[in-house]
Amino acid sequence: MKRNDSGRPKPLILFVEDDPSLAFATKDNLELSGYEVIHCADGVTGLETFNAHKFDFCILDVMLPRMDGFTLARKIRETDQEVPILFLTARSLQDDKIQGFKLGADDYLTKPFSIQELILRMEVFLRRSKDRAVEKEITRFAIGDFEFDFQKLTLTRNGQVQTLTFREGEVLKYFASHRNEVVRREDLLKAIWGDDDYYMGRSLDVFISRLRKYLATDDHSVKIDNVHGIGFRMSW
């Protein structure tokens, strides 16, 4: 792994984008900002490249030749639940963004975007990944019949292990840390996404729906209830 001027390893970024001008400018700016970037121009090459390296972050365009970004993200999630995935999309339709979150994406940016905003969003995930490796706070929780390990991003019951995405883990950890408390929707959004706009709220609903599905088999009736007009309460 290459190192930056401070001697720290450079984060390795997978960047899959078929627009040559955008790809060149983005890759160049990211490398100038201290990242190591491998660029691919289509989804099939992107998947092959992902399988050949250990990436710290993935930036995927949605509209790609040979394999679209949604399919690529789904295949990445089949082998790696942890690596953060950010979609770049020219689409502004709400359903496309929600579909991306359902496939396991962590964030999105709509084109055109500023390189500064892209880097800030990346740094949120990369910083949290570093913090997870050294944090001293509680990272393991008993949730009904489940054992939740935030550092490993696993939810285990009766020997059956469900691997979570990073965002799923963050949401579940927040709830587990506030057991039986009413969690305000905007507080949860700001704590994890840093914002509480409409699209972030819709993506939160997707993550909560998935967590409810994972927890549905618990004998202690773990529940994430909606509290009308306020937010949620997790109890067991």
Q: Are 88 and 61 in contact (CB under 8 A)?
A: yes
What are the residue boundaries of the structural domains of the chain, listed by start? Answer: 12-134, 140-235
Q: What is the pLDDT of residues 139-148, one digit of tens each?
A: 889 998 899 9
Angstrom distance (rounded) from CA 41 to CA 45: 7
The identity of residue 33, as a single letter, is S
Query: CA-CA distances (angstroms) from residue 205 to 95, 168, 183, 189, 225?
Result: 13, 11, 14, 11, 12
**CATH number listed for the domain at residues 12-134:** 3.40.50.2300
- The answer to whether 36 touches 2, Cβ cutoff 8 Å, is yes
CA distance 205 to 108: 16
CA-nearest of 17, 29, 80 to 54 is: 80
- In 3D space, the residue among 212, 203, 173 whose CA is nearest the CA of residue 103 turns out to be 203
Q: Which residue has the tokens 């994406």?
A: 105
Does residue 211 have a pLDDT over 80?
Answer: yes
Condensed to tens digits (0 to 9), the pLDDT of residues 49-108 reads: 999 999 999 999 999 999 999 999 999 999 998 899 999 987 666 666 777 777 878 888
* Residue 180: how many other CB atoms lie within 10 Å: 8
**What CATH number should be reported for the domain whose range is 140-235?**
1.10.10.10
What's the confidence (pLDDT) of residue 21?
A: 96
Measured CA to CA in angstroms, residue 11 lies from 3, 46, 105, 171, 184 at distances of 9, 17, 19, 24, 34
Local structure of residue 3 (DSSP, 8 states): B
pLDDT at residue 8 in the model: 54
CB 45 within 8 A of CB 20: no
pLDDT digits (tens, 9 = 90+) for 122-173: 998 887 766 555 444 678 899 988 999 998 999 999 899 999 988 899 999 9
The identity of residue 72, as a single letter, is L
CB 91 within 8 A of CB 118: no
Checking if the pLDDT of 28 tops 50, the result is: yes
Specify the pairing of strand 12-16 against strand 182-184.
Answer: unpaired
Which distant-in-sequence residues (6+ apart) come within 8 Å of 56 by Cβ? Answer: 11, 12, 13, 83, 84, 126, 129
pTM summary value = 0.58
Q: Which residue has the tokens 């949120």?
A: 124
Q: Which of 125, 163, 155, 166 is nearest to 215 (CA)?
A: 155
Do residues 232 and 208 touch, judged by C-beta distance below 8 A? yes
